[in-house]
Amino acid sequence: MRLPIPEEIRRALSEGTGGPVELFDPQTQTRYVLVPADEYARVRDNGAAAIRETYAAQDAVARAAGWDDPIMDEYNNYDAPRRSRRNS
């Protein structure tokens, strides 16, 4: 859906610091953030990629903390007793 920008919001955009404009719906108590479409597209497109780029660092930190120790394999099966009771 594409809507024209009301004058009050246009003023807030032009007088602002260049950052996003926060909108608030008092009826639903919902907050919205108005950002330029090109910024939204950049965040949307890079969001998943940026998270994937951290996987190697997360893995290194987990290894350094001992999560690759065989004793930690028990955590892979922490739910097994409950599952076996449910399936019985």
Please give the residue that has the higher pLDDT: either 84 or 13: 13
62 pLDDT higher than 80: yes
Domain span including residue 71 = 38-87
Residues 19 and 47 in one domain: no
Q: What is the pLDDT of residues 5-38, one digit of tens each?
A: 999 888 888 887 667 889 999 999 999 998 888 8
* H-type alpha helices, 1-88: 7-15, 37-52, 55-64, 80-87
pTM over 0.75: no
Q: How far apart are CA 1 and CA 17, in angstroms?
A: 27
Residues 6 or more apart whose Cβ sits within 8 Å of residue 66:
72
Residues 83 and 44 in one domain: yes
49 pLDDT higher than 90: no
What pLDDT sits at residue 24?
93
Residues 42 and 82 in one domain: yes
Residue 2 within any structural domain of the chain:
no
Q: How far apart are CA 23 and CA 30, in angstroms?
A: 8
Whether the Cβ atoms of residue 32 and residue 22 lie closer than 8 Å to each other: yes
Residues 81 and 67 in one domain: yes
